Structure 1
């Protein structure tokens, strides 16, 4: 393999500098807005708007995201969360919240989003750096508060400036985190294993024969990471073994997995208040043995990043699904998916996946996190491409008592496209920003 152009520590410092720079820029922007209100001398009286007042949009940390009447609408934070906020035209809201909540905003109602601008700025900066560094097509990430379902960041890059939305192609307006559907890859293995543990169909230490390849249901299933010829369930996750997953789901009724997948929210609509993709999960009567096996390791079904974060949040939230929320007043729907002890057990397995496999890539020294990587080939013109991949990671932190669940997706990276190479380090650096912003001290035991 080619040698890296820089040391991992160099990149880590660079990523932290990126986050700090983003937060500094956000602080400067807020200060500039405040000073402008104080120091700009009064000029000629403005021409009154002929349109009724339009309601403000604010973030949960009190920052103004959009204000002013329809014919003079302004977005003080520029590109920050632009695909979520959207923009207006002469007739009303055209994209994002501006469109979805147009009627309420036209009545002058002030709306607050659950977004935290500090978290949003850090996540956008990290995604932008990763897209530019790997020459990727685009990326998305969601940060969700584990217990409440409130969304602290919903990021899609590259984005745009809603003050100048006509100057970019329409695909830049897209709220990809909520709308784009993709095959997530091996992150789904954690959800599958959790379901089988919950049903008593396996245990963490149940062993299976796991050669590096296996003929199964008329196809050849391959593994990429070298591993022993026999793996336990916990090791199947540790080595991300596709062959091992075929052993786990062999003979499992399709209706059983379908029931758990839908309970996780896969293939189900997300009632966000903004347009959101449903993903694809076929009816169980249409599953073949091969289809069930590939779905168990994240191919043959699709999710959005929003759905992925909500599904993984079940593992973090003691087995309960809580619906994602973008507006604080919305009532979060909840349901029991896994037994509490199952959720505790799968978190322990995922902690070992990180600690024994990709510790330096997915977590910071002194802190524990839980999570799983994924790398999926992208279908291009009806065939899986050998050049275009989706790199994913889903996890939560701190491991001992999760407060935030995070999902990351990067599509089409030309370099470092494996989930462990690309999405996991983004998760690590998002974790770093969260741990710093909310003043978490290192774990006592490490």
Structure 2
């Protein structure tokens, strides 16, 4: 390198370091200034990043706090926010055994207001009243006048027409919220079986409550339901037969001027309830209309003394123990006096009676003689096995516990043998009757489909098959020659037993008020179905069959049901001797 080149390089280096170091090798004042500037800028950058991070954190804290606040407040306070899916959560459709819809969901809307956004509460109320005439004006004005309120329900479940008319009013601060409403196409047809739901579409009674109790209500409470359709719930009910049964009991209330009536049709081999109705009833679409009398399901949630239908069970236990035979005779010539009470017969024959005659003439005296041989302990055990002293197990929530004497004395045993002293539900009486004719198997009733194989797995043998055959003979005998003739339907062999019980009024048996029951099975030679009917406090009845007693009231209900339902259920009528049809050519 030349000398000149060396000078230029040194000059360059000297120029580069001139602002940083002095001639003694230390930093110059200018260098210190540059270094301080760099540190200052770096510190400012860090501060800005820190402030930015703090700002974002503050925003997220506010959002989180508001979410917590909303979560802890009532739904009404925050419901102006878009509704979550669970507000539109579906209930499963309910179908009958043939797939007919018994209950389903329909989309609807509910009207709400945000009072803090209402400009003129008076004007808003006046406009709403033009579309909703039944609107409580004073209460609505009170809601809309609270300017600190962010939400208030005004009307739940509007019709599409009402929604359209309210939208046309153009009221600020008024909105609609999508919801679902339960709809029952059959109205009152199966009211006590289906039950109903509340304004929030939650099951309150019947199978609707049963469905919620199986887990639907728990899922809904934690928001795990959605608006997607659920698998339908199929019932054992046959809507065709249900319509017939409901018609029959409503007609009975009207025609016999009775306090109430009820009936059920049961498959004797599966325990399936094909139809059940209680009147008065209600419309599940508007359950409040029937709140006074219609809500009570008299078939399962009312207990009654079932009268002479209990003689069927008394004779069954007597025959099953082997202590009594069909050919035995018993003295029914005189009344029985015991414990200050007189036991007498309504259709007294005043002679010795065979077991079939005791059943045919519904002899209280003869039944008392029979049950005396059976004994109190055995009687109580058999009635327990028949399910008549314990609470019935089935899907319906509305089931009442039967009542019985605290201490069974001889007088209790005698009166219970012919249906006084024990109160039980009509449905479980029908279930016990089914056990007497199906070969002796007690099968708990169900409102859900059940196969015969499934029924056999849970069935309990309560009497011998031979005893069941003898009871079928007695029912058939009574259907031809006794009080059961009222329900004899041409072509269909119906075996039956009447029961007329005096009602207890103010602790005493009334001489004018009856509770009438009737049990039947058909075709009695090979029973498929059992029918239980009752008529509570009838004021009139079919005179040719005894007026207000069972043969004139509860019996005709069974006759109407069997005559209309048997062909639908596939029971072929048989005429002529031996059941062979007599064909005549013209």
Same fold (TM over 0.5): yes
Separation in 1, partners of 2:216, 2:476 = 44
Separation in 2, partners of 1:216, 1:204 = 26
Assess if the C-alpha contact under 8 Å between 2:472 and 2:525 holds in 1. no
CA positional deviation for 1:401: 0.6
Separation in 2, partners of 1:135, 1:380 = 19
Residue deviations 1:385-410, cap 9 Å, x none? 22221110012000111000111111
2:328 paired with 1:291: no
- Aligned with residue 204 of structure 2, among 79, 82, 94: 94
CA positional deviation for 1:212: 5.0
Separation in 1, partners of 2:412, 2:500 = 18
Assess if the C-alpha contact under 8 Å between 2:245 and 2:277 holds in 1. yes
Assess if the C-alpha contact under 8 Å between 1:96 and 1:175 holds in 2. no
Unaligned runs of 5+ in 2: 1-84, 107-178, 218-224, 542-547, 580-586
Please give the secondary structure, in 1, of the residue aligned with 2:419. coil
2:353 paired with 1:316: no
The match for 2:559 is 428
The match for 2:193 is 84
Assess if the C-alpha contact under 8 Å between 2:252 and 2:553 holds in 1. yes
Separation in 2, partners of 1:349, 1:216 = 28
Q: TM-score, normalised by structure 1?
A: 0.85
CA positional deviation for 1:168: 2.4
The match for 1:344 is 469
Unaligned runs of 5+ in 1: 1-47
**For 1:85-164, what aligned pairs fall within 5 Å after superposition?**
85-91=194-200, 92-103=202-213, 104-105=215-216, 107=225, 108-164=230-286
Residue deviations 1:177-233, cap 9 Å, x none? 111100000000011101000111111121111125221343211111131411111
Separation in 1, partners of 2:102, 2:469 = 39
Residue deviations 1:42-79, cap 9 Å, x none? xxxxxx99321111111112111111167411111111
**For 1:343-362, what aligned pairs fall within 5 Å after superposition?**
343-358=468-483, 360-362=485-487
Structure of higher RCO (CA pairs closer than 8 Å, 6+ residues apart): 1
The match for 1:66 is 103
The match for 1:241 is 363
Separation in 1, partners of 2:469, 2:297 = 33
2:493 paired with 1:368: yes
- Aligned with residue 349 of structure 2, among 227, 249, 269: 227
The match for 2:291 is 169
**For 1:373-392, what aligned pairs fall within 5 Å after superposition?**
373-392=498-517
Separation in 1, partners of 2:489, 2:374 = 38
Q: TM-score, normalised by structure 2?
A: 0.65
**In the superposition, relative to structure 1, how do residues 267 and 248 fare at CA in structure 2: closer, same or farther (>3 Å)?**
same
Assess if the C-alpha contact under 8 Å between 1:393 and 1:408 holds in 2. yes
Separation in 1, partners of 2:417, 2:484 = 24
Larger C-alpha radius of gyration, 1 or 2? 2
CA positional deviation for 1:171: 2.9
